[in-house]
Amino acid sequence: MQQQKNDFVGLIYGDVGSTKFNFTVDARNLRKFDYVAAPHEEGYVLAQVMDIKGYSDLKFEDAITIKSNGSVPPIKSDVSAYAEVIGYRDKEGHLQAPRSPFEAGAQITLAHEDLIRHVLGLQAEKQNGAYLGLLKGHDLPVFLNIDSLVQKHICILAKTGGGKSYACGVLIEELLKKKIPLVIIDTHGEYISLGKPNKDKKDQKNMEKFGVKANDYSSQIVAFSPLPIGDGTTHLTLNGMNLEGREILELLRAKLSGPQIAVLYQTIKELKEFKQVYSIRDIIEAVERTKSNARWNVIASLESLDSIGVFSEKGTSTEELVQKGKCSIINMRGVPPDIQDVVVARLTEELFKDRKAGKIPPFLFVVEEAHNYCPEHGIGHAVSSSMLRTVASEGRKFGMGLCVVSQRPAKIDKNIISQCNTNIILKVTNPNDLKAIIQSVEGLTSQTYDEIQRLPIGVALISGASIQIPILVEIRTRETDHGGKSVTVFKDIDPSEYKVKMPKMPPPPSRQEATPAQKTENIQNNVTEKAVMVNRVAKRLGWVTTDDPDETIKFLSVEAEEMKENVYKYLESLAQLGSNFCHKDNPSCLQCPMGSGCRYHTAHDKKSQSPLQKHGLGLFKRDKPRIA
């Protein structure tokens, strides 16, 4: 694909490879992570700026001299960028990397949107995509293919306060627009706010940038809770009838021994001979009638399971939970962790079984705080882990998509993260979490490790969902109210109206030349006292004729370089002459080491001088005077 305009930014230089190159930077608006186009025999190749550096002729010893005298002369500086090659699309549409090096001297241009879309694979549009935000540094909307999102799995990872629930809310809004069925395990009750429009003043201002408007999806939201809390929330119950021994063992947090397991299986086998339908209570009573000494631990475990209070004769049907265009939110707020674990385990199994049987339509299963329900081996145990691992490995075959959201990537089962094809990663700083992400997510490098730590709040690194390489996306503003925002402790302060006060700082020293109209008036305002002294000494010596210290400093700097002198030591010596001898009024010409080499002295004092003074003792011996 060809570039249509020539937005020149620099030239390739130095040793050049086929996967990376350095180039000069002529465009001052070029930023890190910008996309550029490089000409190649295969056509224009897309690359991304990974680093920008400035180079100058200011040496360490010169900087020390500047620090001591405060005089900042002109400094020559240039900017260089380092870019990594992404590639180009061949005739079949496959992403390819060049196999031959780029040419030194080739012109680098800013990449245009059509090239970026074409190479990165941002082909999804509003009709078939989920709009998550804008490509960082560009006004280019990013749509993720909805089929790829739902048919395959998603993980959303960030540290606490990094914006994971906010990003997940944006994704859910987009899926609701496309009438995708959703079931959300809402650990903290954050997603009920999807039924309320976003009225935040700050967010409403940002909506124009992303092209969205405040909205609510109350007609599509159905709330459930394992607790009978009322308030428009349906009481969620699980089918506790005819549980098999295997199912019961999976739901028990305490592990049974071999003899205890045998008692459980034997009891259920005997119950089936006399009852077509039996409950957990029936199993407990049957175990009590056995003669085995192992029955007591079995009874205690079954009593603990029955006391949860979520099992009923029928239970909430999966057809009620999964409906086209509906989002079922399982509000776990206030539910004890052990009960949450059992609910997620049993509910996941029922949903997966009925989806395989075709009783419910394809849907996305969202699990918030996933590290609580599928912890890494050796870190914790949850009865729901086994079932979630099964969904992660087999769910895509049957149309049950999984989205795991967590603030502790290191604590989630790595098998589950590695099964996720779409990864939305926001700011993460914990070293263990970063290591877990790099090891589990494809396409991330050691350099990405550093960048994830520096991500601004609201910017996500997204990979997968038909996107060929990880990209930075500025997550759009939510249309609905964000239920996961921090609680205001001091009620007199509205966080949305709080503005950071910038500290007052003196303006940085300027090295720019004054315009011709300003030179005469502003000479003394733009230079230091030392520069004025250097100008006075140089003019009295007859080396310059100008009254502008800036011009004098520039002229003497060039002269010092030609004589292979240290520029700042050269200027400092002249400043010392001005400070010690060549005063503005009543200069001490007789003591000055320049002696007869000074035109001012010879013009104002015709008296005889000592032989030393006649020859001059300073560093500044000349065959003939130089006039600026």
In SS3 terms, 45-91 reads as EEEEEEEEEEEECCCHHHHHHHHHHCCCCCCCEEEEEEEEEEEEECC
Query: Of 261-275, 489-503, 514-528, where does the model show the most confidence?
Result: 261-275
pLDDT number for residue 619: 45
Per-residue pLDDT reduced to its tens digit, 557-583 = 888 888 888 888 888 888 888 888 888
Task: Take residue 458 and report the two structure tokens written for it.
Answer: 């609201």
Q: Which amino acid is at 431?
A: P
- For the chain, the average pLDDT equals 83
pLDDT number for residue 443: 67
- Where is average pLDDT lowest: 279-293, 413-427, 441-455? 441-455
Percentage of the chain beyond pLDDT 70 is 86
pLDDT number for residue 531: 86
With tokens 């935000």, the residue in question is 133
563-567: long-range pairs with CB below 8 Å, 24+: 566/61, 566/62, 566/65, 567/62, 567/73
Q: Mean pLDDT across the stretch 259-277?
A: 89
Question: 185 burial class (0-12, 13-18, 19+ CB within 10 angstroms)?
Answer: buried
Question: Domains plus CATH for the chain?
Answer: 8-120 (no CATH), 129-236+316-485 (3.40.50.300), 245-306 (no CATH), 522-615 (1.10.1670)
pLDDT number for residue 522: 44
Burial state string for 541-551 with b = 16 or more CB within 10 A and e = fewer than 16: bbbbebebbbb
Per-residue pLDDT reduced to its tens digit, 435-461 = 888 887 776 766 677 788 888 888 999
The DSSP letter of residue 508 is: P
pLDDT number for residue 510: 52
- Where is average pLDDT lowest: 49-58, 178-187, 448-457? 448-457
pLDDT number for residue 359: 94
The residue ranking higher by pLDDT, 459 or 488, is 459
The DSSP letter of residue 501 is: P
pLDDT number for residue 72: 67
The residue ranking higher by pLDDT, 531 or 184, is 184
Burial state string for 137-149 with b = 16 or more CB within 10 A and e = fewer than 16: ebebbbbbbbebb
pLDDT number for residue 463: 84
Contact partners, residue 516, CB within 8 Å, separation at least 6: none
- Where is average pLDDT lowest: 205-219, 430-444, 490-504? 490-504
Of the pLDDT bands very low, low, confident and very high (cuts 50, 70, 90), residue 627 is very low
- Where is average pLDDT lowest: 95-99, 342-346, 496-500, 618-622? 618-622
pLDDT number for residue 610: 44
Per-residue pLDDT reduced to its tens digit, 66-80 = 766 666 677 778 899
Q: Which amino acid is at 518?
A: Q
Of the pLDDT bands very low, low, confident and very high (cuts 50, 70, 90), residue 122 is confident
From the CA atom positions of the chain, what is the Rg in Å? Answer: 37
Q: Mean pLDDT across the stretch 204-227?
A: 91
C-alpha angle 367/368/369, rounded to 5°? Answer: 120
Helix axis angle, 280-288 to 258-274, nearest 10°: 110
Question: 325 burial class (0-12, 13-18, 19+ CB within 10 angstroms)?
Answer: middle
Q: CA torsion, points 343, 347, 348, 350, in degrees to nearest 10?
A: 150
Q: Is the pLDDT of residue 521 over 50?
A: no
Q: Which amino acid is at 346?
A: R
- Where is average pLDDT lowest: 10-19, 72-81, 182-191, 325-334? 72-81
pLDDT number for residue 600: 83
Alpha carbons 33 and 447: distance in angstroms, whole number:
12
Q: Mean pLDDT across the stretch 464-490?
A: 79
Tell me the longest C-alpha to C-alpha distance in the chain: 136
SS3 of residue 330 by DSSP: strand
pLDDT number for residue 197: 93
Percentage of the chain beyond pLDDT 90 is 32
Task: Take residue 42 and report the two structure tokens written for it.
Answer: 């295969």
pLDDT number for residue 517: 43
Per-residue pLDDT reduced to its tens digit, 247-264 = 888 888 778 888 999 999
Q: Mean pLDDT across the stretch 191-216?
A: 90
